[in-house]
A and B are shown apart, each in its own frame.
Chain A
Amino acid sequence: MFFKSDKKNQDQVRGFSHLGENFRFDGEIDCKGEIEIAGKIKGNVKAKKLRILETGIVKGIVQAEDVEVLGHMVGNIDSKNIYIGNKGVVRGNLHFENNLTVLEGADISGHVQKNKKDKVKRSDTDKVKYLEHNKIAS
């Protein structure tokens, strides 16, 4: 019993990680929660929620559920929701699933694509199967 309650407490993390303005990092970041970057990062970032602040620079591939770019970003972003602020700069492709928000003044160059969800793909294959079935029947 006691161990269980301990584990629950460990799983819950209050607040978010913050990498300050003078933070320089070369390598991989894997965050299960929320992370805020105000420094320079070179490498791939995985997170649930990622916020690149105005002083932040990220060079690498980003995979997350929510991405907010208020600073610089060089590399591809793959996320459910992408938000790019009015001072945001992105050099790279944007792949999103639900929502893309780009404020006036944002600087983007790259390919923008909405990824289809699995459910949509499934319904498509169902349709194909149905058509094939009709062909065979006729």
Chain B
Amino acid sequence: MPSVILRDTNLKGNITEKDSITIDGIVVGEIKAEEVIILENGNITGDITADNNIEAGGQITGDLCSERIHLNNSAKIRGKLSHRNLVVDEGAQLEIVSSTRKKITTNNKE
């Protein structure tokens, strides 16, 4: 079952999840998952690595790496992106370096 972290929850540390993870709270640390969804109240400080998809709607400081990255209109991102497909919605606030690659290698072991 996918994980959900609501906005009353703060995590400090590294997260590894084989499934999808939805975050609306504050996370300080690395996140590795199959799919990462950051909601509007989400605040991430740390690198995010996803196999399939990253949906970013909150504030993120750190590098993003995924097959597909979608930055919503409420996103505030600072960091480096590497992806195969990138979608940016109108209104996203960005301070990024982005690079498109043919193959995304995520070291998501286990």
Which residues in A have some Cβ–Cβ distance to B below 8 Å?
A: 10, 13, 15-33, 35, 38-39, 43
Contact = CB atoms under 8 A, between A and B. Distances in A.
A33 B9 CA distance: 7
A15 B10 CA distance: 16
A26 B15 CA distance: 7
Nearest to B10: A30
* Interface size range of chain B in the complex: 20 to 34
B2 A13 contact: no
Contacts of A31: 8-10
Nearest to B18: A22
B3 A19 contact: yes
B3 A23 contact: yes
Interface string B1-25: 1111111111111111111010001
Contacts of B7: 10, 13
Contacts of A29: 9-12
Contacts of A39: 3, 17
